[in-house]
Amino acid sequence: MDHETLFRKVQREKLSKEEAERILEEKSLELYRTNQVLKSVLDENKLILRQYREVVDESNIVSKTDIHGIITYVNDEFCRVSKYTREELVGANHNIIRHPDMPKSVFKAMWRAIRSGKIFKGMVKNRRKDGTTYIVNATIKPIINTKGEIQEYIAIRQDISDLIELQNEIKDTQEEIIDRLGELGESRSKETGYHTKRVAEYSKLLALKYGIPEPEAELIRMASPMHDIGKIAISDSILLKPGKLTKDEFESMKEHTTKGFDLFKSSNRELLKASAIISLEHHEKWDGTGYPRGLKGEEIHIYGRITAVADVFDALGSDRVYKQAWELDKIYKLFKEERGKHFEPKLIDIFFDNLDEFLEIRSRFIG
């Protein structure tokens, strides 16, 4: 009850001065207690928020920028990871840690999102003061005032450099194992390990030109050396026979496709699943006359269709126990004849449209 209300009450009820002062004192005490409770709640919330901030600051890279991208705040972790001092960072444009390898499109997408009031999430490569690289998962949120205006931006990041390095190490290890297994399969038929390397590079080039995204094209490159891994289960008498195989021997030789598939078919790993597909289908033909299942056209997985072109091109151009290497003109003639028969027409067109790049790979891996 304020003084004016109390005054009207005094006039209306003809309270004594002492009674009015008593009521005023009670209301003042009530107001004081309410303020104390509110202050206690506020202090407790501040304490909790401070502890939340400490947890975030302890394990994350935190910064704030104004609406123009100028840094206004960084935490200790930001300084530790970036190797810049707080004095060097605050007042600088956030581009100070931008890595030159990061596509401009990423930052355009980021600014487009946060300027429209949305949260941006993504993986970003940054550069430390000493020029080294670190990679973060970033979450950037616009801070909006009561008028609905963006006041500043806050960014919270996790340094995932070690995780990315570990993933790359695992990928490199997988690739090396695949290469060695591929070489093992080739060595049993007295072929050079360069065959698998060339097939891998041809396959990736075909995949990219076909329109397959780079990560998947890279997967095909890594898996294609497994196309003949099933040969390790074929007897030497058939595998190393210098002359033409009998009908029964050829039927046994064809089993290398299913044997290779059986090695990998139960795996849940993306690389080994791709290897299983390539092992099984790289001898299928576009017109349905291939093996082991006589698949036709797009029934054949694109991985198998691509590896078929890469494998045949390299096999024909290489010495084998049963034949000498063909001249390039002879290979070109066969490819044109087999367009739409053995091979998917689009892949043959890609091959001839980019012949110089295939020959560059061929010359790079000689052996």
pLDDT digits 0-9 by tens, 223-247: 998 898 888 888 888 888 888 889 9
The residue ranking higher by pLDDT, 4 or 60, is: 60
What is the Cα–Cα distance from 115 to 194, expressed in whole angstroms? 52
Is a pLDDT exceeding 70 seen at residue 204?
yes
Q: Are 221 and 251 in a shared domain?
A: yes
User: Of 186, 5, 188, 157, which is closest to residue 81 (Cα–Cα)?
Assistant: 157
pLDDT of residue 324: 82
Provide mean pLDDT across the span 302-320.
92
Give the pLDDT confidence score for residue 8 in this predicted structure.
60
Q: Look at the chain and report how many structural domains it folds into.
A: 3
Mean pLDDT over 173-186 rounds to: 74
Look at residue 78 and tell me whether its pLDDT is greater than 90. Answer: yes
pLDDT at 11: 54
User: How far from 167 is each of 70, 163, 170, 220, 320, CA to CA, in Å?
Assistant: 33, 6, 5, 18, 38
Assess whether pLDDT exceeds 90 at residue 84: yes
pLDDT for position 274: 95
pLDDT for 175 equals 77
Residues 200 and 311 in one domain: yes
pLDDT of residue 192 exceeding 60, the answer is no
The 10s digit of each residue's pLDDT in 207-218 is 999 999 999 999
Q: Taking all residues of the chain, what is their mean pLDDT, rounded to a whole number?
A: 87
Same domain, 182 and 93: no
| pLDDT value at residue 164 | 87
As a whole number, mean pLDDT of residues 19-32 equals: 73
Residue type, 331: I
> Which residue carries 């027409």 as its tokens?
345
Domain end among 55, 70, 87: 55
Higher-pLDDT residue of 254 and 171 is: 254
Catalytic residue among 197, 209, 231, 285, which?
Answer: 231
Query: Looking at the structure, do residues 224 and 356 belong to the same domain, yes or no?
Result: yes
Q: Kindly report the CATH number assigned to the domain that includes residue 286.
A: 1.10.3210.10
* Containing structural domain, residue 303: 164-364
- Helical H runs in 265-365? 270-281, 302-316, 328-338, 345-353, 355-364
16 and 34 co-located in one domain: yes
What CATH number should be reported for the domain holding residue 78? Answer: 3.30.450.20
Give per-residue burial for 286-320: e unless 16+ CB within 10 Å, then b: beeebbeeebeeeebbbbbbbbbbbbbbbbbbbee
Q: Is it the case that residue 117 has pLDDT exceeding 60? A: yes
Residue 54, classified by CB atoms within 10 Å of its CB into exposed (0-12), middle (13-18) or buried (19+), is exposed
Rounded distance, CA 308 to CA 311, Å?
A: 5
Domain boundary at 108, 135, 159, which? 159
Check whether 13 has a pLDDT greater than 80: no
pLDDT at residue 185, as a whole number: 65
The answer on 288 and 229 residing in a single domain is yes
Strand partners, 126: 98, 134
Same domain (yes/no): 179, 155:
no
What lies within 8 Å, CB to CB, of 315 at 6+ separation is 195
Q: Is the pLDDT of residue 347 over 60?
A: yes
Residue 306: helix, strand or coil by DSSP? helix
- Pair (205, 96) in one structural domain: no
Last residue of a domain, one of 159, 190, 215: 159
* 231 is an active site residue: yes
Q: What are phi and psi of 23, to 5 degrees?
A: -60, -45
Asked if 234 and 98 sit in the same domain, the reply is no
pLDDT at 181: 75
d(CA 190, CA 236): 10
The whole-number average pLDDT for the span 287-294 is 96
pLDDT at 115: 92
What are 266's two structure tokens? 């139960």
User: pLDDT at residue 25 above 90?
Assistant: no
Interval 119-135 mean pLDDT: 94
Q: If we measure between CA atoms, which residue out of 38, 33, 27 comes closest to residue 2?
A: 27
Can you give the pLDDT at residue 43? 73
Do both 103 and 89 map to the same domain? yes
Same domain for 87 and 13 = no
User: What's the CA gap between 149 and 143, in Å, rounded?
Assistant: 8
268 and 200 share a domain? yes
For residue 221, the cross-strand partners are none
- Radius of gyration for the chain, computed over Cα atoms and rounded to the nearest angstrom: 35
Mean pLDDT over 83-89 rounds to 96
Question: Exposed, middle or buried by CB within 10 Å (0-12, 13-18, 19+), for 167?
Answer: exposed
